[in-house]
Structure 1
Amino acid sequence: MRHDGLRAALGAALALGALAGCSLAPHYERPPSPVAEDWATPQAGEAQRPLPWREFFADPALAGLIADALENNRDLRVAVLNIEKARAQYRISRADLLPSVDAGVSGNGQRTPADLSSSGRTATTHRYDAGVGFASYEVDFFGRVRSLNEQALEAYLQTVEAQRAARIALVAEVATAWYQLQADLQALAIARQTLESQRQSYATIRSSYEAEVATELDLSQAESTVRAAEASQAQYRRLVEQDGNALVLLVGKPLEPQRLRQAAPQALALDAPLPAGLPSAALTRRPDILAAEHALKAANANIGAARAAFFPRIGLTASAGSASAELGQLFAGGQGAWSFVPSISLPIFDWGRNQANLDVARVQTSIEVANYQKAIQVAFREVADGLAARGTLQEQVRAQALLVKANAHSYDLARARYEQGVDTYLNALDAQRALFAAQQELVATELAREQNRVALYKALGGGDR
């Protein structure tokens, strides 16, 4: 079986495809950045490279939770599957650039009645065909298919960046949840310590009341402090349980109790330098901004496809093989057959459909420009807010620690004065309440400081590896 006709048709199609390739898409230019040229803070001159999360979150317990989450989290699995889907769609679009060659064998039998036959007699005919060829291959003179292929590529790259953004967000969420758990464990420990101290004071005052030394008011006030401490302990026990449930959801699998225990104080400090630098360097690291730019490029390519719809569309259909009226002679010598059918379609009247599609593509590009610039503005604000809070939170932690120390000293003095009989129990109670509140506020401020550093790490496009 000869394929000279098909080879000639394929050669012509590929030659025409090589000549095609001009694109009617507008030349892409990155939109101007709608933010300031520099951070409004003196803390911006630090490392420029993305910081891997294993270097930033050095505590082994936290690092293990993050690693498990990156492996088991269901939302992240969906993001990975979306990448596979976009990659397959891009391969489909890329395949349209070349003709699809198929092989086929067919047979046809037909009976014609005598009154319809040209010979006036009943006729029965048979036809058998075997060959290879391609159908409706579009010669992309005006870049329509290439524009669609570029759009699919940008959509794929957008999905890749979206998955990177999901990984970084998951790292930050696990770290934030872990620090919340540690803060609530610290608050629970303070509540337990306070409850134990108040129970001892209540027992002492009850003994004094039975000995007619303390008043009934002193006994009632002491009991109120015990009940308040019991309520606080129950509250923080509930919060600790909920924090553990949140971590289990993020990690994507059950966690052993030892992995949810209180960490040592030195494990809670985040001392690694943050990758803060100039806005341009920081923003180019953020995958959400890169994803927004890929969406903009995809919309820009779609304009090229919409413009190409105004021009003629050239199609080629070709086949080569054998044909015979008898099945036994299908592959015999001299039965070669081929066909080559070029076609051209020129839009004349479409009632404004092509123009409307072009208008839609242009408006979508304007939308993506706004989305891209909004993503930059949001990123800039997140980084600027994080940098602004960074120094003040450290100062607040230092001042709160001094307040705890001062309140502890006041409580010791007030309790000593009551035991010596020179002051009422009410002053000791107020001093104890102030100490407890200051201790809880110190835990909350330390949590805010560490969570701010986690949020700043995420905002600066911290590494997802």
Structure 2
Amino acid sequence: MKLKPITLAAVLLISLSACKSIKPVVELAPEYEQPTVAVPETFAFDLPATEAASIQAASLGWRDYFADPRLHALIELALKNNTNLRTAALNVEQVRAQYAITRTSQEMPNISGTAGATRSGALAHTGTNRFNIGLSTGYELDLWGRVKNSSEAALESYFATAAAKDATHLTLISQVAKAHLNELYAQAAMDLAKRTLSSYEETYRLAKIRHQAGVISAVDLRAQEAQIESAKSTYAGAVRAREQARNALALLINQPIPKNLPKAKSLSQQFKINNLPAGLSSQVLLNRPDIRAAEHQLRQANANIGVARAAFYPKISLTGTLGLISPQLGNLFQTNKGSWSAGANLSVPIFDWGTNKANLEAVKIEQQKKVVAYEAAVQSAFKDVADALVARAALAAQFESVSAQRKAYNERLRLIHLRYKHGVASSLDLLDAERSSYNSDNAVLNTQLNLLENLVDVYKALGGGLKRYTTDAQDSVGVRAAMANTPSSQQEVYVPANVKAE
């Protein structure tokens, strides 16, 4: 009966693949324990609990948070073209490919084709030929979990890189939003400076008439001229700020700003939600991509300890070959002379000059560093949220105060204008009133920009707009199985809340 190489190779492969189901004898990786970080359960200056329960930042996409259609278009361009985000996405794909390499090369038997030709014999005799062709395979018995932990470390590296991409995604959105707000602020400052300049020039025209009539002195006239030049200088500074904001936007979207963008809304109409609640501190732990990245890096370090510990134990590999042998090349595939072999190799570390011990110590120290990094990420995240919330409360109160101040100064300017026209108020009174009114208008504009930028900071600090694609990213077995059968373009672990739109 002739050998059937393909059938026998399949039998050998299935036999070795069955070994994959053998669980490690011992688990050498330390059991993961989430580090305990002293953080408050709730945040000061947050909204009342009843309001906080109405909305969650993590489920709020940027389209639902920002109201300006021009900003929407800019964010879309940035998410498509930005070089930093594209690099982060490529990093994810690279680590995903590395994980696939680790998984397939270590968890699955390797099969390779072999072929050879030899001629051998004694010196006094004619030599003989030997031709062979076949398949060979090998598989490591993962008794100590080295393969399992290597794969786990690669998977956690993938998760950490995906979380880092989420952080880049969220940072990019906040950068585009702030650049957009600064452009609108600069344009508003230009408009204010232009209106003020027109008012100053009208006052100066009347002052010249009064100076020619001998009512006011040249000193008062020169003061009016200085105020006009100050307004011109402010206008020039606002133009510079606007162009710099546009340059920042062009860099973020990686192209010149299109001319057909929707018309921008006013500064007061930029947000659909002005009071985004923080909620419980545990929600921040889940939603912040930098915290997720730190946690996955810690899990990776745990798995690496298991790999380092397994190096102290024997390594057992199963091997097998299957093929055909013939003394004539032309009859190789017609011969009945099949060959096969099966065996096992054992490698035991005896003396390695302390390499394994030093390597284990190194990965343990690395794991301790990841614990510290995780604690630092949590504390930094909670500081970001706390700072953003207290700034929101303070800026809201400050905006209310400067708005009331502007109203008072504008009314004062109106009254002094009337008194000046009737000769009751002096030119110095008018100059002081104009200066105070303009400064109060600028204060309102500056505070409004700070308040709007703070709303962006709150959204970013709470990890808004990003949510889990899987129900539990820590379930490496389920995710690994899903990744094995999913095209790479669909293997995002964390995606924006508005997947279809964005």
Matches of 1:414 and 1:252, distance apart in 2: 51
Deviation at 1:388, TM superposition (A): 1.4
The equivalent residue for 1:232 is 234
Deviation at 1:402, TM superposition (A): 0.9
The equivalent residue for 2:194 is 192
Is the partner of 1:167 in helix, strand or coil? helix
Is the partner of 1:101 in helix, strand or coil? strand
Determine which of 8, 21, 29 is the counterpart of 1:18.
21
The equivalent residue for 1:92 is 101
Q: Structure 1 101/44 Cα, relative in aligned 2: closer, same or farther at 3 Å?
A: farther
Determine which of 27, 50, 71 is the counterpart of 2:31.
27
Q: Structure 1 44/367 Cα, relative in aligned 2: closer, same or farther at 3 Å?
A: farther
Amino acid at match of 1:37: E
Q: Is 1:408–1:435's contact at 8 Å kept on the other side of the alignment? A: yes
The equivalent residue for 2:488 is none
Mapping 1:102-181, distance limit 5 Å: 102-109=112-119, 118-121=122-125, 123-135=126-138, 137-181=139-183
Matches of 1:258 and 1:8, distance apart in 2: 65
Q: Structure 1 411/262 Cα, relative in aligned 2: closer, same or farther at 3 Å?
A: farther
Q: Is 2:326–2:335's contact at 8 Å kept on the other side of the alignment? A: no
Deviation at 1:270, TM superposition (A): 4.5
Q: How many residues align?
A: 457
The percent identity for this pair of structures is 37
TM score, norm. by length of structure 2? 0.86
Superposed CA offset, 1:60-84 (max 9, x none): 2222221221122111111111111
Q: Structure 1 19/220 Cα, relative in aligned 2: closer, same or farther at 3 Å?
A: same
Matches of 2:327 and 2:293, distance apart in 1: 60
Q: Is 2:43–2:278's contact at 8 Å kept on the other side of the alignment? A: no
Q: Is 1:209–1:215's contact at 8 Å kept on the other side of the alignment? A: yes
Q: Is 1:270–1:453's contact at 8 Å kept on the other side of the alignment? A: no
Deviation at 1:158, TM superposition (A): 1.0
The equivalent residue for 1:60 is 69
Q: Is 1:5–1:339's contact at 8 Å kept on the other side of the alignment? A: no
Is the partner of 2:110 in helix, strand or coil? coil
Matches of 2:94 and 2:253, distance apart in 1: 24
Matches of 2:275 and 2:432, distance apart in 1: 42
Deviation at 1:30, TM superposition (A): 1.1
Q: Is 1:404–1:435's contact at 8 Å kept on the other side of the alignment? A: yes
2:409 aligned with 1:399, yes or no? no
Amino acid at match of 1:107: A
Q: Structure 1 349/392 Cα, relative in aligned 2: closer, same or farther at 3 Å?
A: same
Is the partner of 2:99 in helix, strand or coil? helix
Superposed CA offset, 1:2-22 (max 9, x none): 447755643543343322434
Q: Which moved more, 1:267-276 or 1:289-298?
A: 267-276
Superposed CA offset, 1:407-455 (max 9, x none): 1122223333333333331221122111111111111111111111110
Matches of 1:175 and 1:62, distance apart in 2: 7
Matches of 1:227 and 1:434, distance apart in 2: 16
Amino acid at match of 2:390: A
Is the partner of 2:415 in helix, strand or coil? helix
Matches of 2:267 and 2:45, distance apart in 1: 29
Matches of 1:372 and 1:278, distance apart in 2: 19
Q: Is 1:34–1:376's contact at 8 Å kept on the other side of the alignment? A: no
Q: Structure 1 7/342 Cα, relative in aligned 2: closer, same or farther at 3 Å?
A: farther
Q: Is 2:68–2:271's contact at 8 Å kept on the other side of the alignment? A: no
Amino acid at match of 1:40: A
Q: Is 2:160–2:297's contact at 8 Å kept on the other side of the alignment? A: yes
The equivalent residue for 2:296 is 294
Matches of 1:395 and 1:126, distance apart in 2: 95
2:217 aligned with 1:215, yes or no? yes
Deviation at 1:262, TM superposition (A): 5.5
Matches of 2:93 and 2:201, distance apart in 1: 61
Deviation at 1:54, TM superposition (A): 1.0
Q: Which structure would you say has the larger Rg?
A: 1
Mapping 1:41-56, distance limit 5 Å: 41=45, 43=47, 45=49, 46-47=52-53, 49=56, 50=58, 51-56=60-65
Matches of 1:2 and 1:326, distance apart in 2: 19
The equivalent residue for 1:419 is 421
Q: Is 1:306–1:357's contact at 8 Å kept on the other side of the alignment? A: yes
Q: Which moved more, 1:417-426 or 1:259-268?
A: 259-268
The equivalent residue for 1:274 is 276
